[in-house]
Amino acid sequence: MKHIVRTWTCWIRTEHTEFCKAYVEDAKLAQMRASPGNLEAKTLYRDLGDGTTEVVFLSLWDSMESVRLFAGAEASRPTGQDNRSEDHMTVDRETVVRHHEVEAGRVGNLMDWY
């Protein structure tokens, strides 16, 4: 059986990092974690030293079907793409979400990877 790792990246103004962390944890990650088939959801932050911070969203799913239930039929489109309430923080964002198959049982905990 294959699991799916879903990744997406955006870049924010570094001055908004702490607010973004709280917002993402309370809203975005909570929504993912509550979705059927989600096994884990995390974010990674990297200060680029130029006033921007890279934010990588990682989530682990039990199947592509579960991803589609969460994200919709166009699973490669970022969720919330039409909700621009956080635009004041965002410098840029990827327009496509990537999905990677991994063997179930070989993934472990996402944070063990970093």
Percentage of the chain modeled with pLDDT above 90: 66
Residue 113 lies in a domain: no
pTM listed for this prediction? 0.84
Instruction: Kindly state the average pLDDT of the residues 58-76.
Output: 94
Q: What is the CATH number of the domain that holds 39?
A: 3.30.70.100
Model confidence band, residue 105 (pLDDT cutoffs 50, 70, 90):
confident
Rounded to whole angstroms, the Cα distance separating 67 from 21 reads 23
Boundaries of domain holding 15: 2-105
Residue 98 lies in a domain: yes
Residue 111 lies in a domain: no
> How many domains are there within the chain?
1
Model confidence band, residue 110 (pLDDT cutoffs 50, 70, 90):
low
